[in-house]
């Protein structure tokens, strides 16, 4: 009887562990998983619109949407595997703002992410990108299993004179651990 009970407990623990490891990071409350068609339907239900012109002008495996994110009008980039159509990354970009506005929005989003994901050295990594501070947050479930990361950084247009002084862009980049690993493995298999 003890062996049966022990075996049953081990099976329940194994099933629970497997179920918990399949947690995906969320973007706008939507898990970053499923096919691009499923993800697109959820974004549209949240009020985003598909930008057909912008999507046609960038690489295959990316779709562009227009929407609102943390109170800002943004371009939303959704990256998916071209073979499986599974979404693995999303990015919201506040583009065409002044340096001051980009830095203000950076601070606002950084504070919100710190509240949600923590600001301990284990949860947040600070660095620089293009001479400006950048920060990465690690998203983990309640058991401490990492389900993704969020990178926050500011860029300046390469041809800065075209939109100056509104040539700064704030990027909020969400990477799902599970689906990014699958996508990367598939690309490695092709090499």
In a domain, 104, yes or no: yes
Residue 94 domain boundaries: 27-190
Query: In this structure, what token pair is assigned to residue 2?
Result: 């003890």
Rounded to whole angstroms, what are the CA distances from 103 to 73, 119, 167? 16, 19, 13
pLDDT of 122: 62
Residues 6+ apart with CB under 8 A from 188: none
- Lowest mean pLDDT: which of 35-49, 83-97, 109-123? 109-123
Residue 167 burial class via C-beta count within 10 angstroms: exposed 0-12, middle 13-18, buried 19 and up: buried
pLDDT of 21: 53
Q: How many independent structural domains does the chain possess?
A: 1
> Is residue 125 very low, low, confident or very high in pLDDT (cuts 50, 70, 90)?
confident
In a domain, 10, yes or no: no
Q: How far apart are CA 149 and CA 138, in angstroms?
A: 5
In a domain, 108, yes or no: yes
Residues 6+ apart with CB under 8 A from 35: 80, 84, 85, 86, 87
Q: Hey, which residues does 91 pair with through a beta bridge?
A: 77, 173
In a domain, 8, yes or no: no
Q: 140-162: per-residue pLDDT in tens?
A: 877 778 889 999 999 999 886 77
In a domain, 12, yes or no: no
In a domain, 76, yes or no: yes
The total of other beta-carbon atoms located within 10 Å of residue 63's CB is 22
| Top mean-pLDDT range of 10-14, 60-64, 132-136, 147-151 | 60-64
Model-level pTM? 0.82
Buried b (16+ CB within 10 A) or exposed e, 107-130: eebbeebeeebeeeeeebeeeeee
The total of other beta-carbon atoms located within 10 Å of residue 52's CB is 10
In a domain, 113, yes or no: yes
In a domain, 17, yes or no: no
């Amino acid at each position: 009887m003890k062996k049966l009970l022990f075996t049953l407990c081990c099976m329940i623990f194994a099933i629970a562990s497997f179920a918990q490891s399949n947690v995906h990071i969320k973007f706008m409350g939507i898990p970053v998983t499923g096919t691009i068609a499923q993800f697109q339907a959820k974004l549209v239900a949240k009020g985003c619109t598909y930008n057909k012109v912008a999507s046609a002008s960038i690489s295959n495996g990316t779709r562009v949407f227009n929407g609102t994110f943390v109170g800002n009008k943004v371009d939303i980039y959704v990256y998916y595997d071209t073979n499986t159509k599974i979404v693995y990354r999303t990015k919201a970009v506040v583009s065409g703002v002044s340096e001051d506005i980009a830095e203000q929005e950076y601070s606002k989003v950084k504070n919100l992410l710190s509240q949600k994901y923590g600001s301990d050295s284990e949860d947040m990594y600070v660095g620089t990108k293009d001479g400006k501070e950048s920060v990465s947050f690690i998203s983990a479930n309640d058991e401490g299993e990492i389900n993704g990361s969020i990178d926050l950084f500011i860029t300046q247009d390469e041809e800065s004179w075209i939109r100056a002084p509104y040539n700064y862009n704030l990027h909020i980049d969400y990477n799902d651990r599970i689906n990014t690993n699958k996508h990367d493995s598939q690309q490695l298999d092709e090499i």
